[in-house]
Amino acid sequence: MKKICVVLSLAAVLTATSAFASMSVTLTENTSQYSYGVGGEFRATGDAGLDAVVAWGAYSAATSGGSGSSRYFQTFCIEHNEYFTPGTPYSASISPNAMYGSQPPLGDPISIGTAWLYSQFAAGTLSGYNYTYGSGRASATSAGALQEAIWWLEGESGGVNNSFIALAETALGLNNTTIKNDANGAYGVYALNLGNPGAVQDQLVIVPEATTVIAGALLLLPLGASTLRVLRRNRE
């Protein structure tokens, strides 16, 4: 039985490696419509590799669009003090953690509050969010409030405990502490880790459930129980 489990685990790793190979993403911003300061919303356009692993059905017409090589989804930053160059293609991978944040090299897990808020945003159903792009300051303010909520949930500077935090706590039945618990792939929300030409700001993405399971197996299979405990967020 142990041998069978090892073979199946290796098969999952090989499948994941194949699924996430040769992925790249380009981020763009529009400060007059939906970006807010150094935060999102940002528009993520990927190559065929990324296109194949995004759960496009989780995104609404308000948060995705285009076709072929111009297909995109809207996303938000996970960290605060990290940056990217708009219009530059970056290599990309998917994991449960922001990989270049405060806890290298294993990364900083996405919180359950962030996962829920982003899933609601992507579906176009986040209460209190202005999805009317092009309306100027109104939609940018809405994006700014959600970005600040995400930063707060991830323990980043620039975060604000605002109405979106209260909304998530009510919906999930959690409090100011438990809302920051690790998401562990809930709602299919994962980190889009950006790499070459430089390790930069990670973004949020939704991938299909089967893909998230494989991605988690790829990261966690080689680790022992003591290492897994290190993955827990060091929250205040």
Give the 3-state secondary structure of 141-200: HHHHHHHHHHHHHCCCCCCCCCHHHHHHHHHHCCCCCHHHCECCCHHHEEEEEECCCCCC
Q: What is the pLDDT of residues 16-25, one digit of tens each?
A: 333 445 689 9
How far, in Å, CA of 167 to CA of 170, rounded? 5
Pair 122, 58: CB distance under 8 Å: yes
In the beta sheet, which residues pair with residue 28? 43
Cα 108 to its chain centre, rounded Å, is 12
Q: What is the pLDDT of residues 140-198, one digit of tens each?
A: 888 999 999 999 999 998 899 999 999 999 999 999 999 999 999 999 999 998 887 76
8-17, 22-31, 64-73, 180-189: which is most confident: 180-189
Residue that the structure tokens 């209460």 belong to? 127
How far, in Å, CA of 21 to CA of 204, rounded? 18
Pair 179, 165: CB distance under 8 Å: yes
Confidence label for 221 from pLDDT (cuts 50, 70 and 90): very low
